Amino acid sequence: MPCIYMNAFIFAVGGFASAYYWSSTENNNNNAWKQNFNNGNQNNNNKNNTNRVRAVRGFKQTIF
């Protein structure tokens, strides 16, 4: 997640709210990691809690 946070600013990816966003990385069976793109904070949170999500663009594979 630190790379995503840094790249959001390096490549000027915008549209992030001042809030936490879920990561797809679990901490354990009950918790997953979350990232705040406003200030760089990261921590884990119970999966039952509400946080934002950000869709990731899919890349089409070209087969030659």
Which of 11, 19, 62, 22 has the alpha carbon at shortest distance from 46?
22
Virtual torsion, Cα 54, 56, 27, 46, nearest 10 deg: 30
Sheet holding 42-46, edge to edge: 20-26, 31-36, 42-46
Number of domains the chain is built from:
1
Tens digits of residue pLDDT in 13-49: 567 777 888 888 899 999 999 988 778 888 999 999 9
User: Is 24 inside any structural domain?
Assistant: yes
The CA distance from 22 to 36, in Å, is: 9
Residue 59 falls inside a structural domain: no
Residue 51 included in any domain: no
Name the percent of the chain in helix, strand, coil, to the closest 5.
Answer: 15, 30, 55
Interval 47-59: pLDDT, tens? 999 888 877 766 6
- Residue 57 belongs to some domain of the structure: no
pTM: 0.60
Domain encompassing residue 22: 2-46
